[in-house]
RNA sequence: GCCCUCGUAGCCCAAUGGCAGAGGCAGAGGACUUAAAAUCCUCCAAGUGUGGGUUCGACCCCCACCGAGGGCACCA
């Protein structure tokens, strides 16, 4: 076939270009990744890659993300799961519209063309997507359900319109959500964002703030900690109190929010946000009104970027009005300033300069008094210029004097509530989600504005409200929606009263589309509903979500919100959409993000043409932990090519027939194979794909050696090894793997071959190196069977003169015969006796020791079973302990402990003998022959009858045998 | 300023508190070759950022510092 490219690829290997062409049609035919239909009995897995925006062809970032998602999806298919791994397009958005304006192409056509390009590239990249379920969000069949979702929220009061100061991007000529403003700049085009007072549509995500925060405990350990932290920061819950202050010459009091109600006596002035209605009202008609307007103009012209400079000097204006401190009746001067935000809390604060840095800065700038009310022992803030926020004793605070911070907060909250002056309150940084946009290429908001009925939802049977044709519309950004220009489209009759009315001309933020798209895949062709509840019950929640950390807040928070709303509507039975999240890193070049302007852009198509699909996929997966950035300068695709060739050559060397009985094969190669399959599988499940690849490479090396100079190519074990390589390799290098599978005499597709069954008896090594440590220092290494008994191992160890010598030098008396040392050793009081490692693990006298490959359940059994009432649901009883893994079984650990640590954890050994008059139940329990029950009885006895006078008393009280007692007599004292 | 994560051979990275090295890249030598490429074999290298602590034993746990990266940043 491709003779031209042969020169580039064939180095005693296979023709990559040819093989890539060869298998695609075969796979199209077999469709190995079509997910099961309702009657499928296999357990399900829903693996989802974040769907892309269709601008241009795929790039290196896509290549990494899809390679990673593919490993997971293909692995679960091999493991016999019914895997749904769908793909679609997030197809609405500004780039299409901007391209339309620039080149005059209909956004729909531009989008469709890009989707076609990307889809073809995904096929060539051998992504294991189930194409039967695909959709894109600009299809009316999708966005009608987007409109349906909007109406559901609207009818529940969760979608509403309000006028407020919003973020406005002057370049894109549209509003932005808070989440789309990064450091004062438009997320998309880096233009400084300005504030504009507009009436916009919002989703009431703040109603769900507590649940969005609290439900994160379900995600702990399953989502990157980083993302959870970012979401917590973003929601920004704080607790404090609302306190109402009387304002002179005003009938209504003003409520302020504070996190430090304990410092109420330290308030020395009062500040209102300069851009709030309250400030304008207070200034109205006063002598400072002129100055106030001037000040307001000045701060409005300051951009958000200026505002973000935290070291900016404080500015403000005295309004010549006063507030009355409710706790002591003091008159506080009222100031207007831009350091108080109008839309957080109530837009007004009490200022406590001694204990709040911002207030202190303002007080120093305006020469206002500072009163310390919490004595932290630090320097006086009015002198040091540093506010003290720490704990201390309350002073100058009337009834609060002498109390500690927490105590004072509780006390004052109670008092305020009793006197009707305030009460404990919570606040959030999170704002409602602004979802309307003044652009064309998005989902029309399905609302009709009627002069007499107000906002009326479009009846569900009239959905979708389709976008008017772009032709003939002026799409250029001009601050109002282009849809307003479609006169025929805008003017409709009110669905309620039938009188002339107008459609809402805004479109929805595209994050609305992606906030529920994962619910659509299970029933993507359903024309009667957004999603089939039954199908969603089958597939959701998503078992593994893969995508960039750039969506840590926006998309993931919105998706969680919408899921909770739908769950409240009883349309879903779960309240978190994504059980497990993997954030892949970025592909960078020499430490910097790739970009055309930087001149460090690596083009995916070039890389694929040079090295082939498999080598690029392998390089992406092998380069390091998936969440780390990949620096392409550190990546060696040609190294991947070499490895793939090595693996491929093996498949041609095997001379046995398919179906041969592996159990008769060479035992040492079989052990290597089963160890590799076991470890690689474990690594994939732990998302440590780079480690999984390393295990496959090891097996390739072992197989090569075995074929060349070991058991030879005819041995069944050689076939077993190479077949295992092909199957494992199919997760990352599908073309190579398929080619190998064929050369091994099998029918396609290797993707469906099934993950090799691990024979656990083959996981036990022939022999292990036991490391003998004395006082923690390695003294000797001896090769022994992993099945050796403790006793025999001790004898082996003591046969070495170096060991005897080391024991003598640390105070162990030898009496000529090694065996006698064993008997005397436990009596030595010097804590480290003889610590013998087995196969990298440890055996310590007094700790349960189990044979190699025991499971957690065996450990619990050895320790006498499980206490009543223990919650075992979080404990993986089937987990195999590593050879000689040192474990400590603690049946007294309470429920709710983190996974796998409730009963099994590393030994923390106490040094020296235990004082039985002070020992806890746990410490006594650890002694041989004393279980938890007995330990408890001993402690109770001690409480009733006073301390033991001799160690021997313990034996009498507990009634244990003297031989048992002798075992730990040396480890206790009084 | 606050919070989080990470510092292991020249490089990318492994290592349940128990032999510091699994794998790869780069490098050196050898076999094959007229030669080169490719292939195969062998070898090379750090004592885990620094200083303390806990432990019989620390890359791993704790504290401080240094360095890198990320998040938040007038949210009262």
Number of Cβ within 10 Å of residue A453's Cβ equals 15
- Determine if strand B comes within 7 Å of the CB of A748: no
pLDDT of residue A862: 52
Nucleotide lying nearest to A905, CA to C1' measure: B16
Between CA A782 and C1' B17 the distance (Å) reads 22
* Confidence band for A873, pLDDT divided at 50, 70 and 90: very low
pLDDT of residue A821: 29
Q: Closest by alpha carbon to A758, among A683, A668, A681, A664?
A: A681
Chain A 779-808 contacts with nucleic strand B (CB below 7 A): 781
DSSP at A223: B
- Determine if strand B comes within 7 Å of the CB of A831: yes
User: Is the CB of residue A128 less than 8 Å from the CB of residue A33?
Assistant: yes
pLDDT winner (highest mean) among A33-47, A308-322, A512-526, A593-607: A512-526
- Determine if strand B comes within 7 Å of the CB of A237: no
Calpha distance A232→A226 (Å, rounded): 10
Find the helix or strand (DSSP H, E) in which A456 lies. strand A454-457
Span of A161-165, A416-420, A679-683 with lowest mean pLDDT: A161-165
pLDDT of residue A42: 85
Between CA A645 and C1' B40 the distance (Å) reads 13
Chain A 905-934 contacts with nucleic strand B (CB below 7 A): 906-912
Between CA A279 and C1' B4 the distance (Å) reads 39
β-pair type (A422-427, A238-247): antiparallel
Which residue's CA shows the smallest distance to C1' of B1? Answer: A310
Calpha distance A896→A891 (Å, rounded): 13
Rounded to the nearest 5 degrees, what angle is found at the Cα of A877, between the Cα atoms of A872 and A882?
Answer: 140
pLDDT per position as a tens digit, A817-860: 332 222 222 211 112 222 332 222 222 222 445 555 455 545 55
pLDDT of residue A357: 86
User: Is the CB of residue A748 less than 8 Å from the CB of residue A742?
Assistant: yes
- Determine if strand B comes within 7 Å of the CB of A26: no
pLDDT winner (highest mean) among A413-427, A790-804, A955-969: A413-427
Nucleotide lying nearest to A638, CA to C1' measure: B25
Helices and strands counted in chain A (H then E) = 33, 35
A537 — alpha (psi -120 to 50), left (phi > 0) or beta? Answer: alpha
- Determine if strand B comes within 7 Å of the CB of A647: no
- Determine if strand B comes within 7 Å of the CB of A585: no
Between CA A124 and C1' B40 the distance (Å) reads 33
Nucleotide lying nearest to A909, CA to C1' measure: B55
Nucleotide lying nearest to A233, CA to C1' measure: B72
Find the helix or strand (DSSP H, E) in which A780 lies. strand A777-784
**Bases in strand B with any atom closer than 7 Å to a protein CB:** 3-5, 11-20, 22-26, 37-41, 55-58, 70-76
Calpha distance A341→A555 (Å, rounded): 26
User: Is the CB of residue A923 less than 8 Å from the CB of residue A912?
Assistant: no
Between CA A584 and C1' B54 the distance (Å) reads 36
- Determine if strand B comes within 7 Å of the CB of A900: no
pLDDT of residue A146: 95
Residue A42 CB contacts under 8 Å (≥ 6 apart), including other chains = A36, A80, A81, A82
**Residue A350 pLDDT exceeds 70:** yes
* Confidence band for A969, pLDDT divided at 50, 70 and 90: low
* Confidence band for A960, pLDDT divided at 50, 70 and 90: low
pLDDT per position as a tens digit, A9-37: 334 567 888 889 999 999 999 999 998 77
Q: Closest by alpha carbon to A793, among A842, A830, A862?
A: A842
Burial class (CB in 10 A: 0-12, 13-18, 19+), A774: buried
User: Helix (H, G, I), strand (E, B), or coil: what is residue A375?
Assistant: strand
Q: Closest by alpha carbon to A836, among A890, A793, A900, A881?
A: A793
Between CA A644 and C1' B72 the distance (Å) reads 45
Q: Closest by alpha carbon to A63, among A552, A615, A691, A683?
A: A615
- Determine if strand B comes within 7 Å of the CB of A230: yes
pLDDT per position as a tens digit, A443-454: 999 999 999 999
Calpha distance A361→A355 (Å, rounded): 11
- Determine if strand B comes within 7 Å of the CB of A945: no
Nucleotide lying nearest to A234, CA to C1' measure: B72
Span of A486-490, A713-717, A968-972 with lowest mean pLDDT: A968-972
pLDDT per position as a tens digit, A918-958: 555 545 555 544 544 455 555 555 655 555 666 666 655 55
pLDDT per position as a tens digit, A539-576: 999 999 999 888 878 899 999 999 999 999 999 999 99
Task: Give A770 or A329, the one with higher predicted confidence.
Answer: A329
- Determine if strand B comes within 7 Å of the CB of A339: yes
Percent of chain A with pLDDT over 70: 76
Burial class (CB in 10 A: 0-12, 13-18, 19+), A324: middle
DSSP at A882: P
Rounded to the nearest 5°, which phi and psi values hold at A239? -125, 145
Residue A4 CB contacts under 8 Å (≥ 6 apart), including other chains = none
Chain A 870-899 contacts with nucleic strand B (CB below 7 A): 882, 884-886
pLDDT of residue A11: 41
Q: Closest by alpha carbon to A918, among A943, A884, A894?
A: A943
- Determine if strand B comes within 7 Å of the CB of A259: yes
User: Is the CB of residue A327 less than 8 Å from the CB of residue A233?
Assistant: no
Kindly state the tokens that stand for A145: 């359900």
pLDDT per position as a tens digit, A233-258: 888 888 888 999 999 888 889 999 99
- Determine if strand B comes within 7 Å of the CB of A708: yes
- Determine if strand B comes within 7 Å of the CB of A187: no
pLDDT of residue A908: 23
Task: Give A902 or A280, the one with higher predicted confidence.
Answer: A280
When the pLDDT of each residue in chain A is averaged and rounded to a whole number, the result is 79
Span of A202-206, A285-289, A843-847, A904-908 with lowest mean pLDDT: A904-908
Residue A52 CB contacts under 8 Å (≥ 6 apart), including other chains = A58, A62, A89, A90, A118
**Residue A46 pLDDT exceeds 80:** yes
Single pTM value for the model:
0.79
- Determine if strand B comes within 7 Å of the CB of A74: no
Number of Cβ within 10 Å of residue A311's Cβ equals 5
pLDDT of residue A777: 63
- As for the ipTM of the complex, it is 0.92
User: Is the CB of residue A299 less than 8 Å from the CB of residue A275?
Assistant: yes
β-pair type (A181-182, A185-186): antiparallel
- Determine if strand B comes within 7 Å of the CB of A234: yes
Rounded to the nearest 5°, which phi and psi values hold at A872? -95, 0
**Residue A434 pLDDT exceeds 70:** yes
Span of A8-12, A81-85, A272-276, A327-331 with lowest mean pLDDT: A8-12
Rg (C-alpha) for chain A, rounded Å, is 36
Chain A 379-438 contacts with nucleic strand B (CB below 7 A): 427, 429
Chain A 288-317 contacts with nucleic strand B (CB below 7 A): 307-308, 310, 312, 314
pLDDT of residue A500: 93
Between CA A780 and C1' B46 the distance (Å) reads 23
Calpha distance A491→A503 (Å, rounded): 7
pLDDT of residue A33: 92
Between CA A954 and C1' B9 the distance (Å) reads 55
User: Is the CB of residue A618 less than 8 Å from the CB of residue A672?
Assistant: no
pLDDT per position as a tens digit, A102-142: 888 888 999 999 999 999 999 999 999 999 999 999 999 99
Burial class (CB in 10 A: 0-12, 13-18, 19+), A93: buried
User: Is the CB of residue A721 less than 8 Å from the CB of residue A703?
Assistant: yes
Which residue's CA shows the smallest distance to C1' of B41? Answer: A705
Between CA A678 and C1' B53 the distance (Å) reads 39
pLDDT of residue A3: 35
pLDDT of residue A207: 92
- Determine if strand B comes within 7 Å of the CB of A240: yes
pLDDT per position as a tens digit, A625-642: 999 888 888 888 888 998
pLDDT per position as a tens digit, A154-191: 999 999 998 877 888 878 777 777 767 776 777 777 77
Between CA A886 and C1' B52 the distance (Å) reads 28
Task: Give A815 or A777, the one with higher predicted confidence.
Answer: A777
Mean pLDDT, rounded, for A280-307: 78
User: Is the CB of residue A865 less than 8 Å from the CB of residue A889?
Assistant: no
DSSP at A886: -
Mean pLDDT, rounded, for A409-432: 88
pLDDT of residue A824: 23
pLDDT per position as a tens digit, A879-896: 555 444 444 433 222 222
């Amino acid at each position: 076939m491709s003779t031209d490219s042969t020169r580039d690829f064939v180095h005693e290997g296979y023709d990559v270009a040819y093989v890539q062409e060869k298998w695609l049609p075969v796979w199209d035919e077999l469709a190995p990744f079509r997910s099961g239909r309702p009657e499928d009995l296999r357990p399900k897995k829903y693996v989802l890659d974040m769907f892309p925006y269709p601008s241009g062809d795929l790039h290196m970032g896509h290549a990494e993300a899809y390679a990673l998602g593919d490993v997971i999806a293909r692995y679960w298919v091999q493991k016999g799961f019914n895997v749904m791994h769908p793909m679609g397009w997030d197809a609405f958005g500004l780039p299409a519209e901007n391209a339309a304006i620039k080149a005059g192409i209909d956004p729909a056509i531009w989008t469709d063309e890009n989707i076609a390009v990307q889809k073809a590239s995904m096929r060539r990249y051998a992504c294991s997507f189930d194409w039967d379920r695909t959709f894109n969000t600009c299809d009316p069949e999708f966005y009608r359900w987007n409109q349906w979702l909007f109406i559901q929220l609207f009818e529940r009061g969760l979608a509403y319109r309000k006028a407020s100061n919003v973020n406005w991007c002057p370049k894109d000529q549209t509003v932005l959500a808070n989440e789309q403003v990064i450091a004062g700049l438009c997320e998309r085009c880096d233009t400084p964002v300005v504030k504009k007072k507009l009436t916009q549509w919002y989703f009431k995500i703040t109603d769900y703030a507590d649940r969005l925060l609290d439900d994160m405990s379900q995600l702990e350990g399953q989502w990157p900690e980083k993302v959870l932290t970012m979401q917590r920061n973003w929601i920004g819950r704080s607790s404090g109190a609302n306190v109402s202050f009387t304002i002179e010459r005003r009938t209504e009091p003003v409520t302020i929010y504070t996190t430090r109600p304990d410092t109420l006596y330290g308030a020395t002035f009062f500040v209102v946000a300069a851009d709030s209605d309250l400030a304008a009202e207070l200034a109205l008609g006063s002598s400072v009104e002129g100055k106030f307007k001037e000040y307001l103009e000045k701060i409005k012209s300051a951009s958000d970027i200026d505002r973000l400079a935290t070291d900016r000097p404080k500015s403000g204006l005295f309004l010549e009005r006063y507030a009355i401190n409710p706790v002591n009746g003091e008159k506080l001067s009222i100031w207007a300033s831009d350091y108080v935000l109008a839309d957080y809390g109530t837009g007004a604060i009490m200022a406590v300069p001694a204990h709040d840095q911002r207030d202190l800065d303002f007080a120093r700038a305006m020469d206002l008094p500072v009163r310390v009310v919490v004595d932290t022992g630090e320097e006086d803030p009015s002198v040091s210029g540093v506010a003290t926020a720490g704990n201390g004793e309350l002073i100058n605070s009337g009834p609060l004097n002498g109390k500690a911070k927490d105590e004072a907060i509780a006390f004052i909250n109670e008092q305020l509530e009793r006197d009707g002056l305030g009460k404990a309150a919570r606040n959030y940084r999170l704002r409602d989600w602004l979802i309307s946009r003044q652009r064309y290429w998005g989902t029309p908001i399905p609302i009709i504005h009627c002069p007499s009925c107000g906002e009326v939802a479009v009846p569900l049977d009239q959905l979708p409200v389709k976008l008017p044709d772009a032709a003939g519309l002026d799409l250029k950004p001009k601050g109002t929606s282009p849809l307003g220009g479609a006169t025929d489209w805008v003017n409709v009759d009110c669905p309620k009263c039938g009188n002339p009315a107008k459609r809402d001309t805004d479109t929805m933020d595209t994050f609305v589309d992606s906030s529920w798209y994962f619910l659509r895949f299970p029933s993507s062709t359903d024309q009667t509903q957004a999603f089939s509840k039954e199908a969603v019950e089958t597939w959701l929640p998503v078992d593994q979500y893969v995508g960039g950390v750039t969506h840590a807040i926006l998309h993931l928070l919105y998706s969680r919100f919408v899921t909770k709303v739908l769950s409240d509507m009883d349309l879903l039975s779960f309240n978190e959409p994504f059980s497990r999240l993997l954030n892949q890193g970025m592909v960078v070049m020499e430490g910097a993000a790739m970009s055309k302007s930087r001149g460090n852009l690596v083009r995916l198509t070039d890389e694929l043409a040079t090295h082939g699909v498999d080598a690029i996929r392998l390089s992406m997966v092998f380069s390091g932990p998936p969440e780390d950035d990949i620096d392409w300068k550190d990546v060696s695709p040609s190294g991947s090519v070499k490895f793939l060739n090595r693996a491929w050559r093996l498949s041609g060397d095997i001379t046995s027939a398919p179906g041969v009985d592996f159990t008769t094969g060479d035992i040492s190669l079989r052990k290597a194979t089963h160890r590799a399959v076991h470890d690689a599988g474990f690594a994939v499940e732990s998302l440590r794909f780079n480690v999984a690849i390393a295990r496959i490479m090891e097996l390739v090396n072992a197989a090569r050696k075995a074929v060349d100079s070991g058991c030879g190519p005819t041995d069944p074990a050689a076939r077993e090894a190479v077949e295992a390589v092909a199957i494992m390799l199919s997760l990352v290098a599908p073309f190579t793997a398929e080619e190998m599978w064929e050369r091994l005499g099998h029918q396609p597709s290797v993707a469906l071959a099934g993950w090799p069954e691990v024979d656990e008896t083959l996981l036990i090594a022939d022999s292990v190196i036991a490391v003998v440590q004395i006082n923690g220092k390695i003294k000797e290494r001896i090769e022994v069977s992993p099945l050796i008994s403790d006793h025999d191992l001790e004898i082996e160890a003591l046969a070495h003169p170096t060991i005897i010598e080391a024991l003598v030098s640390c105070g162990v008396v030898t009496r000529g015969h090694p065996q006698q040392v064993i008997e005397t050793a436990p009596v030595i009081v010097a804590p480290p006796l003889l610590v013998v490692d087995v196969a990298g693990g440890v055996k310590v006298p007094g700790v349960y020791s189990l044979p190699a490959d025991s499971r957690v359940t065996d450990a619990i059994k050895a320790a006498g079973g499980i206490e009543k009432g223990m919650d075992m649901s979080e404990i993986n009883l089937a987990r195999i302990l590593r050879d000689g893994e040192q474990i400590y079984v603690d049946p007294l650990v309470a429920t709710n402990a983190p996974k796998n640590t409730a009963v099994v954890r590393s030994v923390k050994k106490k040094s020296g003998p235990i004082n039985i008059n002070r020992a806890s139940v746990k410490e006594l329990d650890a002694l041989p022959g004393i279980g938890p029950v007995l330990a408890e009885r001993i402690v109770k006895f001690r409480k009733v009858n006073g301390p033991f006078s001799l160690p021997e008393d313990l034996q009498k009280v507990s009634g244990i045998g003297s031989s048992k007692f002798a075992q730990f007599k040396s480890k206790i004292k009084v």
